[in-house]
Chains A and B, each alone.
Chain A
Amino acid sequence: MFIELGHFALTLAFAVSLVQMVIPLIGAHKGWSGWMAMAEPAAIAQFLLTGLSFAALTYAFVTSDFSLRIVTANSHTLKPMLYKVSGVWGNHEGSMLLWVLIVTLFGAMAALFGGGLPPSLRARVLAVQSAIGAAFFAFILFTSNPFERLAMPPFDGRDLNPLLQDPGLAFHPPFLYLGYVGLSICFSFAVAALIEGRVDAAWGRWVRPWTLAAWICLTIGIALGSWWAYYELGWGGFWFWDPVENASFMPWLIAAALLHSAIVVEKRESLKSWTILLAIVAFGFSLIGAFITRSGIITSVHAFATDPTRGVFLLLILGVFMGGALTLFAARANAMEAKGVFGLVSRESALVFNNILLAVSAFVVFIGTIWPLVAEMAFDRKLSVGAPFFNMAFTPFMVILGIILPLGAIMPWKRARLGRAVRYLLPAMILAVALGALTWAMQTGRSALGPVGIALGTWLVSGAAMDLWMRAGRGAAGAKLARIARLPRADWGKAVAHSGLGITMIGIAGMMAWQQEDIRVAQIGERFEVGEYGILLDKVERVEGPNYLSTTATVTVWQADEQVATMYPEKRVYPVAAMPTTEAALDNGVLRDVYIAIGDPQDGGGWAIRTYIKPFANWIWAGALIMALGGLLSLSDRRVRVAAGARKERAAAPMPAE
């Protein structure tokens, strides 16, 4: 019964979205305030209806209602509760419902917090957002209905893919979707502004918090996914340049560019048409991501069970929204005249270069991802583009970005002097080069990757610190520190996010350059050395889990004669899904991770064991979280909060005439 209610609510939400995408647009065009005003309650109703529908599906998973096709296909009574819930979005239909739920969530939030927007702009934003919602409601209802029943419900389900039964992955999709879909509201703002024909500083101020929120979620989502891949897939690799990973990385890069260019619109009223274009393209990449994951055109580890009609439908959505928005852009872009003027060396120019580097690096990832498809269709060549290509083609962009970032970040608006910026940052520069040189001297006969990563990371972190220090002005150190603590949160956010990037760079370079690996047959009770650690295999046992069987080894890790860790690497078999998995054991540390995986028993006795020492591994995700924290700090800045209140005050009490 509740299931049918959920299905009905979804259909109703679709109907509401159809109305909401038309009426407010007409209202805004004709200037009819009643027609415009219907957008807000409609947006909230849409969200509540979709929420109800999502709740119904969750209920079906939690109560293991196997009369629903997707519950049978993705759940099992013995599965732990967390994975019953995460099973809702661990499949194509359910994840699309989550997707559309987030589209409506952002619509409702724009309706609730959009009080300061001019009524016509708000009506248009909500109408465009609703059009996106309508497209996905149609997609779900016509091609991927999660509420499909089975005529003959089976006794028990077929279980969720065991690889997906993991706490990191349970929360990875919601964050990722909040990010992906969050960009839809930026898209709506861009299209609404194009229809309106006006982009000004205020528009930049409205769009930035949304972009920031989407970017924060995308950062966390990607970090969770990468962390999951680290301990669950492969051998402690954290990024595989898989098409689906790339699909999430491209919107992240573009959103990062948008974040920065919106600052220029807000503060200097320049780069307007470019910012609009980025807002359109960012969501375009989200749609491309959805297309890549679900069409099966480019196969990958993560792709959901695929179906050509779904692919065609998604391509249609992509075509309509991108085609429409870009046509509108071509027609209206000229109307947006830039106002701010700035010199060749200035914060503005630095942000322009930031944007070029981020946008072109996203382009490189895009070309690499679709190249196998292009080569097959256009040139009849069947080939692969994998990690070695991306590492080579992508890394230089990040290195250049890292080099210019601290310089650009301390430059003043309008006109700066390079010599002065360099002079301010001299201590950071010396520290970075010294640490890089020290690392170079300490390692022998290895690649330049490690030292370059350490130098760049140090440069970014100390450059951010110098930026804060410089902002505190002159005076005694104590007074400066007090002033630093009172700096606006946006300044802190900027410094924290940029340091986070530096920390991630150190992590990536350190892990790739200095990872130690050992593969061998270990006898029980026999100690062997990997790097500075002694590894001892104590015992191997069979253990029964809630819905799997495990071969668990007990391994102790020693440093000289002191035991530093006990680890339990496992091999699991999930009988229902008939799938084996390797659960590596990790001993996390600040400066290194010890990573141990157990393999098969050997004929001559003993077990195959793989051991890695991965230096700085955790810095990769710590850096990403720090980046997200920087974003949050910036989002909580007084300017964002107070400006919202101030607009209301102004509306309530008009200024006396002078």
Chain B
Amino acid sequence: MLKRLILALALTLPLPALAVEPAEMLDDPAQEARAREVSKELRCLVCRNENIDDSNASLAKELRLLVRDRITEGDSNEEVIEYVVDRYGEYVLLKPTVTGSNLLLYIAGPAMLLIGFIVAMVYIRGRSRRTDVAADGLSPEEEARLKEIMGGK
């Protein structure tokens, strides 16, 4: 009884879709490959951090179809992305544009690496210069410690 109820319930539920479905694919393999490539750069707006190529959401499907439409119309990959951004805003881009404040995002990593590198070089130079001093003899503390160990003789 309970099982039948569950079964009945289950059949009314939507079944998971398969993201890119066979029916929506383009016949020309080269164009389809381009569509897949473009899709991986675009965010599914209603999903959490998923691109439209991987998403099962219906809005993602609409966007996939839109991308394929533009490609068959003869747009280049960049033109397709521009077209989508014009309509949905830069939120759809998974890789933000390198403009304005976003420059900070792109520069932060390399700048930090450079700073780290400079600081490290200064530190290591400081350490290595001491090598020459230390090679000549013991530091005063080491002398004192040695004396202590040797029994102050």
Interface residues of A (CB under 8 A from B): 234-235, 237, 240-243, 270, 299-301, 303, 338, 340-344, 348-349, 352-353, 356-357, 359-360, 363-364, 367-368, 371, 375, 378-379, 381-389, 392-393, 397, 414-415, 519-521, 544, 549, 551, 571, 573, 575-576, 578, 580-582, 597-600, 602, 608, 610, 658
Contact = CB atoms under 8 A, between A and B. Distances in A.
Contact of A549 (B7, B116, B123): B7
B153 interface: no
Among B3, B48, B151, chain A packs the most CB atoms within 10 A around the CB of B48
Contact of A342 (B10, B120, B127): B127
Interface in B54-110: 54, 89-96, 100-102, 105-106, 108-109
Contact of B15 (A349, A384, A600): A600
Interface of B: 3, 6-7, 9-10, 13-23, 25, 40-41, 43, 48-51, 54, 89-96, 100-102, 105-106, 108-109, 112-113, 116-117, 120, 123-125, 127-128, 130-131, 134, 151
Among A367, A384, A415, A521, chain B packs the most CB atoms within 10 A around the CB of A384
Among A299, A343, A357, chain B packs the most CB atoms within 10 A around the CB of A343
22 contacts: A242-B49, A300-B49, A338-B127, A341-B131, A342-B131, A344-B128, A348-B127, A356-B120, A357-B113, A367-B109, A375-B102, A383-B93, A384-B93, A385-B94, A386-B43, A386-B51, A387-B40, A388-B95, A389-B96, A397-B113, A575-B9, A600-B21
B151 to A, nearest CB: 7
Given A378-B101, A384-B94, 17 more contacts: A234-B50, A235-B54, A299-B48, A338-B127, A341-B127, A348-B124, A364-B109, A367-B105, A385-B94, A388-B94, A389-B95, A521-B23, A544-B3, A549-B6, A571-B16, A580-B14, A608-B22
Nearest to B43: A384
Contacts, number: 167
B101 A379 contact: yes
A602 B117 CA distance: 58
Contacts of B101: 375, 378-379, 381
Contacts of A300: 48-49
B25 A519 contact: yes
Nearest to A599: B18
Contacts of B40: 387-388
Contacts of B109: 360, 363-364, 367, 393
Contacts of B19: 235
B116 A301 contact: no
A401 to B, nearest CB: 12
A386 B22 contact: no
A360 B25 CA distance: 41
Contact of B92 (A270, A367, A384, A602): A384
A80 B6 CA distance: 17
B94 A597 contact: no
Contacts of B43: 384, 386
Contacts of B134: 341
A364 B109 CA distance: 5
Nearest to A387: B94
Contacts of B151: 658
A519 B16 contact: no
Contacts of A375: 96, 101-102, 105
A383 B91 contact: yes
